[in-house]
Amino acid sequence: MLIRRARRAFVLVVFVAVGILPGSAFATCSSQLAVQVLGSGGPDANDARASAGYVLWIDGQARLLVDAGGGIFLRFGEAKAKFETLDAIGITHLHADHVSDLAALLKSGFFSERTRQLPIIGPSGGGDFPGMSEYMRILFDADHGAYRYLSGYLDGSGGLVKVAVTEVKTDPPGSEVVFKNDRFEVTSVGVTHGPVPALAFLVAAEGRRIAFSGDQNGHNPQFAALIKGSDILVMDHAVPEQTDEVSGHLHARPSEIGRLAAEAGIGKLILSHNMARSLSHLDENLALIREHYKGPITVAEDLMCLDL
């Protein structure tokens, strides 16, 4: 018993000595400018990762949330991000693994100090997908919304924070500035994610540039042009090289990720949206990427902090 206690105390001392505590290794992201990975996974629950979501931290405050897939509600709290400090939320596309926790996060904001409007930027609709504005109506419309009891998000009633939706055309896929304040600027560009209307974002803050691929097959030359010379590219790593045609139209193959990162001259490549099917080929995928891209590569983990 005594030995076990002593061993536990020793382990705790070691954790404290290297600046981490068990279970909260990545829980704070306090540098001046950083991106924190909230969810490094995709739509499969078997990879033990939250689905897509990222926070931009500026001077210790969470200022931008990119995507809000399943599990991001929990990770947002674990990261100690505050709803009231968010200047905007960007949603790359309306697949469930990128947006299903949005309503839960907005609801949590009811218990925050926030009173100012919350800008939400998302794609226009097409095919089987509503646009961002229609999606918000489906959730919160006072008469027909699934969460009609929260209709105040659309009109500011009931003590809820009104959201201001900017819907961005994905086709033709030109780039445009979709949000700007004195802290950062967001430029979007339409990307090819199979038949899904989808956006990628480039965020500029404090002289640094961070690219979020969203989900895409990496084929849009305008995306490569927009992100040229970015400090960080957070890229979807969702398929192995020998993937089927449908998945290859949805996501970039490892060789395509490598070519894109090399062509765009990316400072650091972050592989996220990891799935069991891509992680099971990780060594092979990394080798294929490195045939083209010679810079540093990090495989994202939930709550990982990427300093800039």
The nearer residue to Zn ion, 63 or 98, going by C-beta atoms, is 98
Name the percent of the chain in helix, strand, coil, to the closest 5: 30, 25, 45
Q: By CB under 5 A, what part of segment 211-240 binds Zn ion? A: 215
The nearer residue to Zn ion, 43 or 145, going by C-beta atoms, is 43
- In the complex, the smallest distance separating the C-beta of residue 64 from Zn ion, rounded to whole angstroms, is 19
Contact pick of 47, 67, 87, 97 for Zn ion (by CB under 5 A) = 97
The nearer residue to Zn ion, 97 or 302, going by C-beta atoms, is 97
Q: Which two tokens stand for residue 167?
A: 């819907």
- In the complex, the smallest distance separating the C-beta of residue 95 from Zn ion, rounded to whole angstroms, is 5
- In the complex, the smallest distance separating the C-beta of residue 67 from Zn ion, rounded to whole angstroms, is 8
The nearer residue to Zn ion, 153 or 212, going by C-beta atoms, is 212
Q: Which residues contact 171 (CB under 8 A, 6 or more apart)?
A: 124, 126, 190, 197
Establish if 101 lies at the interface with Zn ion (CB under 5 A).
no
The nearer residue to Zn ion, 87 or 97, going by C-beta atoms, is 97
The residue type of 67 is D
**CB-CB contact of 304 with 40 (8 Å):** yes
Kindly write down the DSSP assignment for every residue of 112-123, as one continuous string.
SS--S-EEEEEE
Angle of CA points 302, 34, 212, to nearest 5°: 70
Give the residue from 131, 135, 172, 136 showing the smallest Cα distance to 152.
Answer: 136
- In the complex, the smallest distance separating the C-beta of residue 274 from Zn ion, rounded to whole angstroms, is 11
Angle of CA points 214, 215, 221, to nearest 5°: 85
Find the length of the chain.
308
- In the complex, the smallest distance separating the C-beta of residue 272 from Zn ion, rounded to whole angstroms, is 10
The nearer residue to Zn ion, 63 or 93, going by C-beta atoms, is 93
| The one segment of 7-15, 207-215, 261-269, 290-298 that binds Zn ion by CB under 5 A | 207-215
Angle of CA points 202, 205, 211, to nearest 5°: 20
Q: By CB under 5 A, what part of segment 104-133 binds Zn ion? A: none
Total residues at interface with Zn ion (CB under 5 A): 3
| Pattern 73-92, Zn ion, x by CB under 5 A | --------------------
Q: Residues in the site for Zn ion, rule: CB under 5 A?
A: 42, 97, 215
